[in-house]
Chain A
């Protein structure tokens, strides 16, 4: 029943991808399509896919409609890593440093969330926000003292899907792409248990679910995936927040398959946003600005409705 509501969007999805690849097509530009546009398309797909899927599961796990992949501070940690790499001159290692930054943040946040001896959702949120703020402050500090690197820093903070891959790096990216999709699939398998978690920890526990372990798994997988996206594309806001809500509005409430739809439509929306970002003005504008323009009115809509 649910599927029927989503099928009309599929042709739109393929149409967007075709435009993305073949806009201004000339016969000799096959090389460009394969070497420049396809990698960018794959990056946009991965980022939208991951952020929206993770956003969906976070909103359920934390039982908070404003939860999104960046809420636990992972984005700031990863961004700090990338920016640090760029000001130190290791331009080619920006994704690696970003990923290490995400891992570091993940560890700190997880540790802080268990400070009282047991896990607590509110504590997780709070420690995520605090750690995120701390890394934001570090980013501001770096920015202030390294104004010659401001272009790089803006790229990380506003999102940029135009990452120029070196040939070697591209094979790593393909591997990461595959692993990420597999991890997302695992997240989907976990979502059945996650749905039961919405009824409360005690009920879920009485049904034989190891609540603590489930939370840990989802938290770690989601953070790794988010870290990967920030490492390659910077911080692209709102996608992970609005797409799960759109899917929920269409399908009516949380559904198990929601995470798959959320991922797919997140990928589609981000590809569309990137297409707009590349072509709306003569100079490409950061894609995070477009998603924010689409996201803010939507955010208000959610707020007005949920009153």
Chain B
């Protein structure tokens, strides 16, 4: 008898440990900072139950449970959060997407590689998370803003060198997102054609191209001063005329991330590009 009572108590304790199913219908996990921003803009953070540590804007996202970083996530955590959709991105996350599919967790992959891509992604995400009207409104007004910016471009576009990494030095081609942003804000990228969208370049080619503006998107420790000190770079127009812009002048997230904030980034860039020497 005693044993049976003990057993029953034991069973009840175990049963008590099983969590109740949370009531929210939609539970999203977002592993890409760009998509997290877009979802937040369309719907707020109420349905987002998990993000990666790179999702740092808006600040509200920082409070949400972390499932890992962009390159590596904790699958147990993802399963325990019981998501209805996991929003993934491209690059390192191609593998993640297929592994999640193996675990039969529904995924939606968005990796906008151009501005037009981003706008259509906003519409698609809107349909997925059931805020289609708002998404269409955001997308339409974004398009109008972008058209306005392109109309305001000056007649002569200055030659621009974008440095996205410093050792080895790397730049972007016109086919990349950043390249398109530069172009549409009225700049003339000196590396229009590169073998890859984001590619290593040689110091020689930068000096030969003689850019009028240098834009650094690397971490702010890399200052304009360090560029001026580079051996042989003193002949470049941008260095001579002191037109080197760093992460402190233009927030790199505004031009690297494919989110509606790119409009702000483009306005800032346009100001720099239109400004006569």
Contacts and interface: CB of A to CB of B under 8 A. Distances in A.
A151 B232 contact: no
Given A89-B219, A89-B221, A152-B167, A283 B232 contact: no
B235 interface: yes
Interface stretch (B129-137, B150-158, B182-190, B202-210): B202-210
Interface in B160-193: 165-170
Nearest to B202: A284
Contacts of A35: 207, 231-232
Interface stretch (B98-106, B222-230, B258-266, B268-276): B222-230
Given A36-B203, A162-B168, A31 B230 contact: no
Interface string A155-172: 100001010111111100
Nearest to B218: A91
Interface in B59-98: 69-71
Contacts of B221: 89, 91
A283 B165 CA distance: 15
11 contacts: A32-B232, A36-B207, A89-B219, A91-B166, A147-B69, A151-B167, A155-B168, A166-B230, A167-B231, A168-B229, A284-B168
Contacts of B234: 167
A86 interface: yes
A89 B167 CA distance: 12
B267 interface: no
Contacts of B200: 283-284
Contacts of A94: 167
Nearest to B165: A151
Contact of A92 (B165, B170, B202, B226): B226
B208 A164 contact: no
A95 to B, nearest CB: 12
Interface of B: 69-71, 165-170, 195-196, 199-200, 202-204, 207-208, 219, 221-222, 226, 229-232, 234-235
B166 A36 contact: no
A29 interface: yes
Contacts of A92: 226
B168 A36 contact: no
A155 to B, nearest CB: 6
Interface of A: 29, 31-32, 34-37, 39, 86, 89, 91-92, 94, 147, 151-152, 155, 160, 162, 164-170, 278, 281-284
A39 B232 CA distance: 10
A160 B167 CA distance: 10
Given A29-B208, A32-B208, A283-B195, A162 B203 contact: yes
A147 B71 contact: yes
A34 B207 CA distance: 13
Residue among B69, B221, B231 with max Cβ neighbours from chain A (10 Å)? B231
A44 to B, nearest CB: 15
Given A32-B232, A89-B221, A37 B167 contact: no
A239 to B, nearest CB: 20
Nearest to A35: B232
A44 B195 CA distance: 26
B229 A167 contact: yes
B219 A164 contact: no
A39 B231 CA distance: 9
A92 B17 CA distance: 55
B154 to A, nearest CB: 28
A165 B203 CA distance: 11
Residue among A36, A37, A170, A282 with max Cβ neighbours from chain B (10 Å)? A36
A262 B247 CA distance: 47
A171 to B, nearest CB: 10
